Chain A
Amino acid sequence: MITVKGLCKNFEHIEALKDINFTISRGEIVALLGPNGAGKTTLIRLLTGLLSPSEGEIFYNDEKLSTNRVAVLSQIGYIPENAPIYKDMSTYEFLHYTAQLKNLSADIFEERLKQLIKSLELTEAMNRQIGELSKGFRHRVAIAAAVLHAPDILILDEPSEGLDPNQKFALRKFIQKFAARGLVIISTHIMEDVEALAGRIILLNNGRIIEDTTPFKLKYKMPDKDLSSAFRRITSSQQAQS
């Protein structure tokens, strides 16, 4: 479970996030939605400990991120936007390195690796340099690295950016399977992903949560019952007000 209490983030004179509060429970797939500059990436970076909040706290299963960074990160799998990984390493070397950083024993690593090679269809990529792999394969390698330690929480920043329809479908299947035993947070502005995956939407605009609801309820707020137009109308009316 993730609990966010009174989270604020300021960059010098800019308030990137203001008074963010929410709780996400096991089994949920939550989409962080918002236009560019809404604060999605800042929130993701705060949730993964890459940034420290100016105010507020983040709890993972009652453990404070600010004081137990390492313990909390061992429960999280994070895939940043564009999945940056070491291109000069082979897939096996990279996953082995990741396993060592995550303090996995050799036995557990080999066992997890077998499962991930099968579920993410990585056999072909194992001995190839990451720099030589296609974007889709690189993405799968990044997913394997993120879930190598069997985390409870998966955080993805713009996960389907640049993937072809088949790869998007495979990714969604993987996320749905993961959510059966953990929780998933996806930062995106691709409505197709939201509709296919999310059971809940946290809509951000100008650094504030303006909606915390289900895709169904958000859709039916608008006469045309379309998620994209709901998103456009809510965020543009907010921008006009501000």
Chain B
Amino acid sequence: MKQQLTAVFTKEFFAYFSNFTAYFIIIIYAGLTLITTFYFGRFFNMDNAGLTSFFSYQPEILSIIIPGICMHLWSDEYRLGTIEFLLTQPVEYKVLILGKYFASCTFVLLLALSTVFLPLITSFYGSLNISTVISGYIGLIFVIMSFCALSNLISMLSTRPVISFLAAFILIRLLMMLNLEGWQDYGFTQNYYNIISGRLALSSIMYFILMTLLSLWAEQAVISNKKTL
């Protein structure tokens, strides 16, 4: 099982670098991060000991980047017919699902890791609230985990990568806007801000973990249901 998981992970992860996809996404992510952090986030005019300007805009950016990274994962298998090859291999469905999921997560985590220059530079020019920055990165990891799981699920539901991208983007944006009166505790924004501001409440952590697990479980259900169609 470990060998199979590694095989799926490696194939999908390096596929990003086999064409211009990875480089294009890196440029878009870097560009959006710099614009939002320094221009919209007024980085130099705010008290940025906890890098609030940076972390506040990350879900917005990732809601565009992650659907783009995940859109091909399953859609292309259906579109090109290789799904028949994949699903007739002696591999558990969960291995295929996790392999693709980990590949997309790792790619986005590496993107997020490339932003560590921000806290490093900030620490040279002023005092850095290290615990808040660490909480911010923990929040970012949870967002990446859950958005990747959702986008993988959507990719499985469509045979067209563009449709997958749009559907995942809309779903994530709706989730982020869900901030109804009296239901804020269950909303994305509240839970994300809880974590990045250093309040690592169990309910907030569970919110993201449950969203991730539910999406991965739904993927397994989708494959099984397609068999019974």
- Enumerate chain A interface residues (CB-CB to B < 8 A): 11, 48-52, 70-71, 73-74, 76, 78, 80, 82, 84-89, 97-98, 100-103, 145, 149
* C-alpha spacing A51/B84, complex, angstroms: 11
Cβ contact of B7, chosen from A49, A73, A101, A145, cutoff 8 A: A101
Cβ contact of B89, chosen from A71, A85, A89, A102, cutoff 8 A: A102
* C-alpha spacing A50/B81, complex, angstroms: 12
- B88, A49: Cβ atoms under 8 Å? yes
A70-B92, A84-B82, A102-B90 are known; give 15 further A-B pairs, CB within 8 A: A11-B229, A50-B87, A50-B88, A50-B227, A70-B90, A71-B90, A73-B88, A73-B90, A74-B90, A78-B88, A84-B80, A85-B85, A97-B7, A101-B90, A103-B4
Residues of A within 8 Å of B3, CB to CB, are: 100, 103
* C-alpha spacing A71/B92, complex, angstroms: 10
Indicate if B15 sits at the interface (CB-CB under 8 A).
yes
- A98, B89: Cβ atoms under 8 Å? yes
Indicate if B45 sits at the interface (CB-CB under 8 A).
no
Q: Which chain B residues in 1-35 approach chain A with CB under 8 Å?
A: 3-4, 6-8, 11, 15, 18-19
- Looking at chain B's contact residues, the main secondary structure is helix
Provided the pairs A52-B228, A100-B6 are in contact, do residues A70 and B84 lie with their beta carbons within 8 angstroms? no
Indicate if B213 sits at the interface (CB-CB under 8 A).
no
Residues of B within 8 Å of A88, CB to CB, are: 15, 18-19
Residues of A within 8 Å of B227, CB to CB, are: 49-52
Residues of B within 8 Å of A50, CB to CB, are: 84, 87-88, 227
Indicate if B91 sits at the interface (CB-CB under 8 A).
yes
Provided the pairs A11-B229, A51-B227, A88-B18 are in contact, do residues A101 and B81 lie with their beta carbons within 8 angstroms? no
Provided the pairs A11-B229, A52-B228, A70-B91 are in contact, do residues A84 and B7 lie with their beta carbons within 8 angstroms? no
Residues of B in contact (CB 8 Å), total 25
Residues of B within 8 Å of A74, CB to CB, are: 90
Residues of A within 8 Å of B81, CB to CB, are: 80, 82, 84
Provided the pairs A11-B229, A51-B227, A88-B18 are in contact, do residues A101 and B88 lie with their beta carbons within 8 angstroms? no
Residues of A within 8 Å of B91, CB to CB, are: 70, 101
* C-alpha spacing A85/B89, complex, angstroms: 13
- Can you list 19 pairs linking A and B with CB atoms under 8 Å apart? A48-B88, A50-B87, A50-B88, A50-B227, A51-B229, A71-B90, A73-B90, A78-B88, A80-B81, A80-B84, A84-B85, A85-B82, A86-B80, A86-B82, A88-B18, A97-B11, A100-B3, A100-B7, A102-B90
* C-alpha spacing A73/B84, complex, angstroms: 13
Cβ contact of A80, chosen from B7, B85, B90, B224, cutoff 8 A: B85
* C-alpha spacing A74/B92, complex, angstroms: 12
**In the complex, which of the residues B3, B19, B89, B229 has the most CB atoms of chain A within 10 Å of its own CB atom?**
B89
- B229, A49: Cβ atoms under 8 Å? no
Which residue of chain A has the shortest Cβ distance to B91 in the bound complex? Answer: A101
B78 to chain A, nearest CB (A): 11
* C-alpha spacing A78/B15, complex, angstroms: 25
Q: Which chain B residues in 66-95 approach chain A with CB under 8 Å?
A: 80-82, 84-92
Residues of B within 8 Å of A49, CB to CB, are: 87-88, 227
**In the complex, which of the residues B8, B81, B84 has the most CB atoms of chain A within 10 Å of its own CB atom?**
B84
Which residue of chain B has the shortest Cβ distance to A49 in the bound complex? Answer: B88
Residues of A within 8 Å of B92, CB to CB, are: 70
Residues of B within 8 Å of A102, CB to CB, are: 89-90
Q: Which 7 residue pairs are nearest across A and B when measured between Cβ atoms? A: A84-B81, A100-B7, A74-B90, A73-B90, A101-B89, A80-B84, A52-B227
- A84, B89: Cβ atoms under 8 Å? no
B156 to chain A, nearest CB (A): 15
A62 to chain B, nearest CB (A): 17
